[in-house]
Amino acid sequence: MKRLSDVKRIGFGAMRLTGPGIFGPPADPAEARRVLLRAVDLGVDHIDTSDYYGPYVANDLIRETLHPYPPELVLVTKVGARRSDDGGWHPAFSPDEIRSAVHDNLGRLGVERIAAVNLRKMDGWEGSMADQWTVLAELRMQGLIGDLGLSSVSPAEVEELQQIAPVACVQNHYNLAHRQDDDFIDALNEQGIFYVPFFPLGGFNPLDVETLDGVAAKHGATSMQVALAWLLQRSPNILLIPGTSSVAHLEENLAAGRLKLDDEDLVALDKIG
């Protein structure tokens, strides 16, 4: 089975295949399936998902649309949260909940092994995550998980958990205008750890910066393509998982991988952060 170290640098995030607020089914299930099929057709080999997207909607769509999976496709999921009936986000962080979530993801996706699982620290969690990480390390030893990752964590937490099991990737909030992790990314790169920014285009409040528009116009590209291209050139350990519910937007995101920013562009864009 392929691992994260084998994937192309632009993958696909499945979060937006669900309904508003990442809750419930998509408005157009057929288009959601077309997005997944087109992604694979265009060579995407890394899909990021989770049981709590929907909940279950994203994983069900992925299995129903793509199973049996192409051998080159790497599926990555997240555990540590659950959804309430009103769409709320809540911790599901006990060791037993972590173990159950991994098995639930295996079943929903229809696989015997998940290429990577990220432990997502929810807002408000205090204290060590060693017990939760130990559970994932045990499941990895059992052959149910390939690589282990962390989400919404600090450098100190990565350092602590590395003593229990290797950290393959970190998934934190980062983009052109939200750059608190600049030093963290560089440190992870030195350690050979991937960094996967969530909200690479601003999330629920898309990036809207005049400088971005100017660089985009220069290259005949969109501002969002420039934002993705900047991330790819920011550091070689960055992997992207932009999400969308539109085939056209998917194709636009993937085309950003062919956009090369020059030194003048990078100087202008660096001033945004």
List residues with catalytic annotation: 53
3-state secondary structure of 75: strand
As a whole number of angstroms, the distance between CA 139 and CA 206 comes to: 37
As a whole number of angstroms, the distance between CA 240 and CA 216 comes to: 19
3-state secondary structure of 181: coil
For 240, half-sphere exposure in the C-beta direction (CA atoms, 13 angstrom radius) is 27
As a whole number of angstroms, the distance between CA 45 and CA 69 comes to: 10
As a whole number of angstroms, the distance between CA 150 and CA 188 comes to: 12
3-state secondary structure of 178: strand
CA proximity to 150, closest of 126, 136, 132, 167: 167
Cα angle, residue 55 at apex, residues 50 and 58 outer, rounded to 5°: 55
CA proximity to 15, closest of 196, 199, 243: 243
H or E element, residue 35: helix 29-41
H or E element, residue 100: helix 95-109
The one-letter amino acid code at 219 reads H
Assigned token pair, 62? 């992925």
